[in-house]
Amino acid sequence: MLLADGEVGLVRTLRPADADAVLALHTRLDERDRYFRFFGPMPSAMDSLANRIAGEPGDTHAGLGCFLEGDLAGVAHYERHAGSAEAEIALVVDGTHRAHGIATLLLEHLVATARAAGIERFIAEVLAENAKVI
């Protein structure tokens, strides 16, 4: 994909082998970004969450990553609500790569992936003070 600043990134489906990269991305977040992502500090079971985000995609889950020069710069994923056509989504982008359009492009790709799985609506909770995401 072509980012807003002209840099080229690779968007692809995350797989279990990407769990360490997902964990590393979340570990690099500063305190404020962690607060916006988790509404508090990073969960103590972040390794389990990273494994779930990078788990094999299917009808109930999918995760996409944006890689810049081989490094994971952003993640978007969804988890379907049981028995529903709705899914909760979450996105995170490394602070050094913000304002380049990564989250928007990941969201566009995630929509296409979700539609193919029968997802009709995304749901996300965002803190009111996170104006850039809103």
CATH number at residue 78: 3.40.630.30
Please state the domain count of the chain. Answer: 1
Q: The domain containing residue 54 runs over which residues?
A: 10-123
Instruction: Give the Cα separation of 103 and 1 in Å (integer).
Output: 12
Instruction: Give the Cα separation of 115 and 42 in Å (integer).
Output: 30
pLDDT value of position 112: 94
In a domain, 99, yes or no: yes
- Give me the residue label for tokens 């999918």: 62
Is the per-residue pLDDT at 81 higher than 80? yes
In a domain, 2, yes or no: no
In a domain, 130, yes or no: no
- Give me the residue label for tokens 């970004």: 33
Q: Is the whole-model pTM more than 0.75? A: yes
pLDDT digits (tens, 9 = 90+) for 25-80: 999 988 888 888 888 777 788 888 899 999 999 889 999 999 998 899 999 999 99
Helices (H), the chain: 19-28, 31-38, 46-53, 102-116
Instruction: Give the Cα separation of 112 and 125 in Å (integer).
Output: 21
pLDDT value of position 5: 78
